Amino acid sequence: MGATLEMIRTRRSIRDYEAKEVSQELLNQVLEAVRWSPSWANTQCWEIVVVKDRARKRELQGVMPKFNPARKAVVQVPVLLMLCAKLNVSGAHGGEFMTKFGDWFMFDLGIAAQSVCLAAHDQGLGTVIAGGFDHEKAKKLLGVPEGYEAVAMILMGFPARGSKALKRRTVDEFTHYERF
Ligand SMILES: Cc1cc2nc3c(=O)[nH]c(=O)nc-3n(C[C@H](O)[C@H](O)[C@H](O)COP(=O)(O)O)c2cc1C
């Protein structure tokens, strides 16, 4: 198996972390992986807020519902990345959206998120993407300006405990040859 496939197959969402810091060098590698991610017409609508300050992480934890399984880890992780998007650029041409799906920022950020998770995993770091929180409150907390959205947090650090692989649909179940 190639190294990339191996990373894709063995990545897990991690929700329990060690206190150990993540070096700037490791963080830079992860950000570099975002940089080389594909995006609509290379529009690169992502903006990333790096949060390390414990008080700020507490505030972000406060905008997450109690039942979110990643909640405890928001304060535990050494680094939290808030993936933000500039609106009205992805999927647009000459000021108009080109497809029925309108703004493709969620798509582009999804790819960037996977880049973060795989690059982190490649360096021995664990991650979990968290999208279940109050986005308006998070946006205010981090000073995200109008015309941008705070879309998803990615918690990152050294795993204290792995997670078991959750069951996946088989390839046959979702693959359709020639017609749906
Ligand atoms: C867009 C998105 C949002 C997610 N939001 C949360 C979340 O709010 N809290 C959480 O604990 N996990 C969240 N997850 C992680 C998923 O639950 C996890 O990826 C899925 O159950 C598969 O498990 P695995 O990542 O360990 O393979 C999210 C994942 C994605 C892709």
Q: What is the model's pLDDT at position 1?
A: 78
- Look at ligand 1, atom 7, and give the residue with the nearest C-alpha: 130
With a threshold of 0.95, does the pTM exceed it? Answer: yes
Task: Say if residue 144's pLDDT is above 90.
Answer: yes
Strands (DSSP E) found in 101-147: 126-130
Does the beta carbon of 131 sit less than 6 angstroms from any atom of ligand 1?
yes
Mean pLDDT for the chain overall:
97
Q: What is the model's pLDDT at position 127?
A: 98
Q: What is the model's pLDDT at position 72?
A: 98
Q: What is the pLDDT of residues 86-133, one digit of tens each?
A: 999 999 999 999 999 999 999 999 999 999 999 999 999 999 999 999
Taking the centre of ligand 1 as the mean of its atom positions, its distance from the CA of residue 109, in whole angstroms, is: 14
Does the beta carbon of 117 sit less than 6 angstroms from any atom of ligand 1?
no
Torsion of CA 73, 76, 77, 81, to 10 degrees: 60
Backbone angles phi, psi at 152, to 5 degrees: -150, 145
Task: Say if residue 136's pLDDT is above 90.
Answer: yes
Q: What is the pLDDT of residues 25-76, one digit of tens each?
A: 999 999 999 999 999 999 999 999 999 999 999 999 999 999 999 999 999 9
Task: Say if residue 5's pLDDT is above 90.
Answer: yes
pLDDT bracket for residue 137 (50, 70, 90) = very high
Q: What is the model's pLDDT at position 158?
A: 98
Taking the centre of ligand 1 as the mean of its atom positions, its distance from the CA of residue 13, in whole angstroms, is: 7
Whether the CB-CB separation of 45 and 86 falls below 8 Å is answered with yes
Does the beta carbon of 130 sit less than 6 angstroms from any atom of ligand 1?
yes
pLDDT bracket for residue 175 (50, 70, 90) = very high
Does the beta carbon of 68 sit less than 6 angstroms from any atom of ligand 1?
yes
- Look at ligand 1, atom 5, and give the residue with the nearest C-alpha: 130
Strands (DSSP E) found in the chain: 46-51, 79-86, 92-93, 96-97, 126-130, 148-157
Q: What is the model's pLDDT at position 23?
A: 98
Does the beta carbon of 129 sit less than 6 angstroms from any atom of ligand 1?
yes
- Look at ligand 1, atom 23, and give the residue with the nearest C-alpha: 13
Whether the CB-CB separation of 52 and 46 falls below 8 Å is answered with no
Does the beta carbon of 12 sit less than 6 angstroms from any atom of ligand 1?
yes
